[in-house]
Amino acid sequence: MAVTLTHLTDIFALGFDDIIDVRAPAEFAEDHIPGAISLPVLDDAERAEVGTIYKQVSPFTARKVGAALVAKNASAHLQGPLASKTGAWKPLVYCWRGGQRSGSFASILGQIGWRV
């Protein structure tokens, strides 16, 4: 579900249980939504690697490499910090720019059955 806000404070009225920031740790450290939980789908080095492949090889190859890394990291989050979440859990997932990272992670969470 796409969310459009007029003011950042509107986010807290939407009824989400957690706000999940899937950006790389350096991006999260630079700035994030107050109260957001950092669950990066790419670490800083992986993000740089995918970006380099995108520019030097091809967008397709970068997406393929990125998808494998996102799947690996999503698995770690599911077995770690998200392992105790019930079926009623409703997270808001965000990233930056194109939304591919948040879209990928949200798709995985949605396939499990969480309302994202």
User: 109: buried, middle or exposed (CB in 10 Å: 19+, 13-18, 0-12)?
Assistant: buried
Residue 8, pLDDT > 90, answer: no
Q: Write down the pTM of the prediction.
A: 0.88
- Whether 68 is covered by a domain: the verdict is yes
- Whether 3 is covered by a domain: the verdict is no
- Whether 67 is covered by a domain: the verdict is yes
- Whether 1 is covered by a domain: the verdict is no
Q: Of 73, 80, 78, 81, whose CA–CA distance to 101 is shortest?
A: 73
The alpha carbon of 90 is separated from its chain's Cα centroid by a whole number of angstroms, namely 14
- Reported as a pLDDT band with limits 50, 70 and 90, residue 7 is confident
What is the sign of the dihedral through the CA atoms of 111, 112, 115 and 116? negative
pLDDT of residue 14: 84
Three-state SS at 87? coil
Q: How many domains does the chain have?
A: 1
- Distance (Å) of CA 59 to CA 21, 53, 68, 71: 23, 7, 14, 18
- Whether 41 is covered by a domain: the verdict is yes
DSSP tag of 45: H
Q: What is the mean pLDDT of residues 77-100?
A: 94
pLDDT tens per residue, range 48-76 = 999 999 999 999 999 999 999 999 999 99
Structural domain containing residue 74: 8-112
- Whether 2 is covered by a domain: the verdict is no
Residue 3, pLDDT > 70, answer: no
Write out the catalytic residue numbers: 95
Instruction: Give the CATH number of the domain where residue 33 resides.
Output: 3.40.250.10
- Whether 86 is covered by a domain: the verdict is yes
Characterize the bridge pairing of strands 91-94 and 18-21: parallel
> Under 8 Å CB-to-CB from 63, ≥6 apart: which residues?
100
